[in-house]
DNA sequence: GTGGTCTAGACCACG
DNA sequence: GTGGTCTAGACCACT
């Protein structure tokens, strides 16, 4: 499911957080659905349970998961919508920041729109 | 000159690296020009000399500075051009990445060009 | 009857304990009356029988229920009075503790009585 | 400084969080001041460094501390004011909740104000 | 079985 | 020296 790169400099728990967010955005995990238990994920991914727990707690803090002892973790109601809105907002910010800096380096608006046209004609096939 | 935020989570040495890059791009530091010595910078900015040294070494590794033992550090010939090209390339990548992800989240090309138009009409006044 | 929130962080058995206490205080359950069996409750509420059993045992320990093997659980004689006194005592303690801390944070007595006046004029409609 | 009760059912890291909040509210820790390092606190309190770290991270998440590797933790600017407002708000809620429940159990407003008068005439000497 | 907490000990980047 | 992350292993409460 979620691939972990233990050599990456982004922390493992963060990779788990990102991976679960992504699975929710892709519809692989549905709202209300129970997700893999800490021990289960830990075993599958070859990661220490504490690390998985840290990721799950972070996701709960973000309101994306809800969980409790003896019950397990579930995708919280409304997680998809909130996640999607937040993600788009962050990406828009990244888009505008990059555009602004390019502008300051002398790139014109028409150049940027050209790049966009190329990107969309390609179909943007890439992760 | 270069403002250091000791509370920031981005490492101080990285802030120095970024600051010097920026000064070169802005023309404040010219190619061939000698920059502040490690001890000068350290004293002015209230930063540990080791930290400044680490930043200078990193910049030397990037080919932006050249250091001569006992004489200090100088902006390397061609630093401006290389820095500019590299910076624009990185920003273009960030721009395209953000565009691609927004596209995957259902944002249309015309929406993106609208955002660009707004940005350029504003003048994009911000760092 | 008693609503269980499986997503809540307060243990389910505790929710059951609180719910039954509340029903006794409200007169829904009378002294001497037999309450739902573990299996009944379990089925109605969609909760694990062990959890219901744990709640009933806790209530028996508190002297609120009495259980007869093979016959079920009954509201103990005097449960209402004892429960009411104990509840009021606990709430009084909470009231005084909160008042004391507010006082230490500079809130005056007249401010507190103002809040009370508002509360009572509203009718205090809320659980 | 902060006393830890390892037998308490409130987690140790939470006790640390509460203790530091309290020290800030009491003015023992001032804004901008550096606090004990993770290892220092750990050694003084006889607690595992990981536990202290967890508490500090929680406080940073709450905006009460700021810290980074190699620098240590500092009381964040504005921590006192924010903490104080939030604390009073929570205590007011506890006060009103308790009052409301007492009202529902037949306690009159004049009874509550009597209790307050007693409390304030005592001077409220207690933690 | 579930999650939550704690300890001990290790390694890394930063100052 | 600082904090951040990870592992291994243990104990607890809840279902």
Task: Say if residue A91 is in the same domain as residue A59.
Answer: no
Mean per-residue pLDDT for B92-96? 96
Task: Say if residue B67 is in the same domain as residue B21.
Answer: yes
Q: Which residues touch strand F (CB under 7 A)?
A: A 6, 11-14, 47-51, 54, 68-71; C 11-14, 47-48, 50-51, 54; D 37-40, 50, 53, 56-57, 60, 67-73
Give all chains having 3 or more CB-to-CB distances under 8 Å with chain D: B, C
In a domain, B67, yes or no: yes
Cα A117 to Cα A36, A113, A124, B24, B116, distances in angstroms: 41, 6, 10, 33, 13
Q: Locate tokens 């502040």: which residue?
A: B36
Distance D42 CA to E9 C1' (A): 15
D71 shares contact with chain C (CB less than 8 Å): no
Residues D83 and D21: beta-carbon distance below 8 Å: yes
Whichever domain contains B53, its CATH number is: 1.10.10.10
Share above pLDDT 90 across residues of chain D, in percent, rounded to a whole number: 90
Cross-chain Cβ contact D92/C115 below 8 Å: yes
Other CB atoms closer than 10 Å to residue D70's CB: what's the count?
9
Instruction: Locate the chain D residue with the closest alpha carbon to B10.
Output: D68
In a domain, B7, yes or no: no
Question: What's the pLDDT tens digit per position in A12-48?
Answer: 999 999 999 999 999 999 999 999 999 999 999 999 9
Task: Say if residue D20 is in the same domain as residue D32.
Answer: yes
Task: Say if residue C28 is in the same domain as residue C71.
Answer: yes
pLDDT of residue D123: 66
In a domain, D95, yes or no: yes
Task: Say if residue D62 is in the same domain as residue D98.
Answer: no
Domain residues for the domain of C95 are 80-121
Distance A73 CA to F15 C1' (A): 13
pLDDT of residue C68: 87
Question: What's the pLDDT tens digit per position in D46-79?
Answer: 999 999 999 999 999 999 999 999 999 999 999 9
Task: Say if residue D67 is in the same domain as residue D109.
Answer: no
Average pLDDT of every residue of chain D: 94
Task: Say if residue A88 is in the same domain as residue A60.
Answer: no
Which bases of chain F come closer than 7 Å to a protein CB?
1-10, 13-15
Query: Residue C122: which pLDDT band, with cuts at 50, 70 and 90?
Result: confident
Question: pTM of this prediction?
Answer: 0.91
In a domain, C106, yes or no: yes
Task: Say if residue A86 is in the same domain as residue A100.
Answer: yes
Task: Say if residue D26 is in the same domain as residue D65.
Answer: yes
In a domain, C127, yes or no: no
Cross-chain Cβ contact D71/B8 below 8 Å: no
In angstroms, the separation between the Cα of residue A124 and the nearest Cα of chain C is: 40
Number of domain units in chain C: 2
Task: Say if residue D25 is in the same domain as residue D43.
Answer: yes
pLDDT of residue C125: 55
Mean per-residue pLDDT for A55-80? 96
Task: Say if residue D43 is in the same domain as residue D68.
Answer: yes
Here the tokens at position D74 are 């500092």
pLDDT surpassing 80 at residue C127? no
Distance A38 CA to E13 C1' (A): 29
Query: Residue A104: which pLDDT band, with cuts at 50, 70 and 90?
Result: confident
């Amino acid at each position: 499911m979620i691939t972990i790169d233990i050599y990456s400099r982004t922390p493992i728990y963060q990779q788990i957080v990102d991976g679960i967010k992504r699975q929710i955005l892709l519809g692989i995990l549905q709202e209300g659905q129970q997700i893999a238990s800490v021990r289960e994920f830990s075993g599958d991914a070859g990661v220490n349970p504490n690390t998985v727990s840290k990721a799950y707690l972070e996701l709960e803090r973000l309101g994306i998961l809800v969980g409790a002892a003896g019950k397990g973790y579930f995708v919280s109601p409304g997680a998809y919508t909130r996640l999607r809105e937040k993600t788009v907002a962050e990406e828009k910010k990244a888009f505008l920041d990059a555009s602004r800096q390019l502008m300051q380096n002398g790139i014109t608006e028409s150049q940027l729109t050209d790049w966009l046209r190329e990107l969309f004609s390609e179909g943007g096939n890439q992760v």
